[in-house]
Chains A and B, each alone.
Chain A
Amino acid sequence: MTQKIIISGFGGQGVLSAGLLIAESAVEEGWNATFFPSYGAEMRGGTANCHVIISDSEIASPIIKSADTLIALNSPSVDKFLPFLKENGLLLVNSSVVSGNFDAGTRKVVELPLDSLALEKLGNSKSANVIIIGAFAKLTNVLKPEKIKSAIEKKFASKGGKIIDMNLRALELGAVSV
């Protein structure tokens, strides 16, 4: 099993931490994982992306040429990375900010209004990036929810129970929304 995921969006949308969470969950699973971030000047507001590969065997290149999943948190990300998504790949889109004007061809497209979901159901938009991981896990079945949960608990251990709880709820919300 190898799953190659590109996550892309504006700097500040939690692109890198979402990618990292997927990689960490895979490690919890006992798999191999690579995480490669764009490391340019996009601290906030620019485009940020990362390539995450999770696999039960050795991972050669950490750079993705042909992705199984594209998680696009804004419109430029769809334009930029759709060509790298396999013909039968999964495109997960944040429909709160991405307009439907793209041709995904034969790919499976799942749209989720992350920002409004987060605001309405969680009270703030901070965990929007975790909602989409919940959706990703449900749709692809490659990561067990309990492994993601334990990755979240470790990741936010220093931030306290409230933050952990919010992220766990976001994960759950993503899973039930698709």
Chain B
Amino acid sequence: MRKLIKGNEAMAEGAVIAGCRYYFGYPITPQNEVPAYMSKRLPEVGGVFVQAESELASINMVYGASAAGARVMTTTSSPGFSLMMEGVSYLAASRLPCVLANVQRGGPGLGNIAPAQGDYFQAVKGGGHGDYRLIVFAPASPQEMLDLTILAFELSDKYRVPALILSDGIIGQMMESVDIPENYVPGKVDKPWALTGAEGRSKNVVCSLFLDENVMQNLNTELSDTYEELKKSEVRYESFMTDDAEAVIVAFGTPSRIAKNAVLRARAEGCKAGLLRPITIFPFPEKEISSLIENNVKNFLVTEMNSGQMLEDVKLAVSGRSNVHFYGTTGGVITDEDEMTDRIMSICKGGSRG
């Protein structure tokens, strides 16, 4: 079925399609369509919606439901995700699968409700305490809000790593036609560790307290190994006109859409521009950046709605082999298409702007 729906609603329906029957959330703009949708939709499919008293409560309800073996979700926006950080660290440490979403807004602090990408570091570098990662998806359309949410549930269960949909106010609020799969069968993953009552078996314990530092180190090693596995097997990205590109824009989410226009406009002027759009930002498509360099890309223009966060990951991947330029907007200001086009053109012409 093809339907014109909001990104936030597409994400919610994606969760339902993936077999998520438990949603816990607290109101915050610009993601309020998700709890509204879930409060109506989940009871229709025998699921449960609970409006929690805070994001602290939501994330810990998610912890409980995941420990109990269920597919479960919560969604929020930037300040709310900060509040959840403690719980996210616990989820990662207890290896509890779940899908979280941060529909980012302007920050820091209370900021505003305009679309932004200032939570990249928080999403991909940890955010909570301790040494952990999430599987982080960066959808660029309502369609991807749905598709990547489904994938997030599958991968989270498979790797026992919490997954995060890192969206922004535009992708959440905008409407676009979305293909809604009608016969999707959610993956079945055995969860012998889940708390279901110890009838006929020895007890299960879900926890992240290991007072023996060697045991704790073992858990950390196990987590690192899983993250390496993700880097090997689950990197996703879109390449747009990169085959013969000499200058490549790297952008995720909303700026990546704007970048497509900039690439087309630059090409019309004879500048061989392209776009690399990371779809997973952890694991990050660093190998693809390397192969672009081997393919003669001399310049990268990282474009984000923040002051340069993914920029660091691109620089790490480039490792000094090409030039890395940056164009960012902050505080909820949306990437300007003319400005981006000017920058990539000037890079093409050998200018040093950026």
Question: A residues touching B (Cβ–Cβ < 8 Å)?
Answer: 20, 23-24, 27, 32-37, 39-40, 58-63, 65
Query: Which residues does chain B contribute within 8 Å of A27, judged by CB atoms?
Result: 2, 4, 177
Given contacts A20-B175, A23-B4, contact A39 B29 (CB under 8 A): yes
Nearest-CB distance from B110 to chain A (Å)? 14
Q: A20 vs B2: C-alpha distance in the bound complex, in angstroms?
A: 16
Which of B30, B113, B170, B338 meets A62, CB within 8 Å? B170
Pairs across A and B, CB under 8 Å, 28 listed: A23-B4, A23-B175, A24-B4, A27-B2, A27-B4, A32-B176, A32-B177, A34-B174, A34-B175, A35-B4, A35-B175, A36-B174, A39-B29, A39-B173, A40-B113, A59-B176, A60-B257, A60-B259, A61-B337, A62-B174, A62-B176, A62-B257, A63-B170, A63-B258, A63-B334, A65-B336, A65-B337, A65-B338
Q: A14 vs B334: C-alpha distance in the bound complex, in angstroms?
A: 26
Q: Does B169 contact A (CB under 8 A)?
A: yes
Query: Closest residue to B173 on the A side, CB-wise?
Result: A39
Q: Does B208 contact A (CB under 8 A)?
A: no
Query: Closest residue to A31 on the B side, CB-wise?
Result: B177
Q: Does B95 contact A (CB under 8 A)?
A: no
Query: Which residues does chain A contribute within 8 Å of B174, judged by CB atoms?
Result: 34-36, 62
Nearest-CB distance from A3 to chain B (Å)? 16
Interface centre among B29, B175, B260, B264 (most CB of A within 10 A): B175
Which of B169, B258, B334 meets A39, CB within 8 Å? B169
Q: A62 vs B338: C-alpha distance in the bound complex, in angstroms?
A: 15
Question: B residues touching A (Cβ–Cβ < 8 Å)?
Answer: 2, 4, 29-30, 113, 169-170, 173-177, 254, 257-261, 264, 334, 336-338
Query: Which residues does chain A contribute within 8 Å of B336, judged by CB atoms?
Result: 65
Nearest-CB distance from B165 to chain A (Å)? 18
Q: A37 vs B169: C-alpha distance in the bound complex, in angstroms?
A: 10
Q: Given contact pairs A33-B4, A35-B176, A61-B257, enumerate 7 new A-B contacts (beta carbons under 8 Å).
A: A27-B2, A34-B175, A36-B170, A37-B173, A61-B261, A62-B176, A63-B258
Q: A58 vs B174: C-alpha distance in the bound complex, in angstroms?
A: 15
Q: A12 vs B338: C-alpha distance in the bound complex, in angstroms?
A: 33
Query: Which residues does chain B contribute within 8 Å of A59, judged by CB atoms?
Result: 176
Interface centre among A32, A33, A36, A65 (most CB of B within 10 A): A36
Query: Which residues does chain A contribute within 8 Å of B169, judged by CB atoms?
Result: 39
Query: Closest residue to B172 on the A side, CB-wise?
Result: A39
Interface centre among B4, B113, B257, B258 (most CB of A within 10 A): B4
Query: Which residues does chain B contribute within 8 Å of A24, judged by CB atoms?
Result: 4
Which of A32, A33, A61 meets B258, CB within 8 Å? A61
Q: A33 vs B5: C-alpha distance in the bound complex, in angstroms?
A: 11
Query: Closest residue to A24 on the B side, CB-wise?
Result: B4
Q: Are B170 and A33 neighbours in the complex by a CB distance under 8 Å?
A: no
Q: Are A60 and B261 neighbours in the complex by a CB distance under 8 Å?
A: yes
Nearest-CB distance from A15 to chain B (Å)? 14
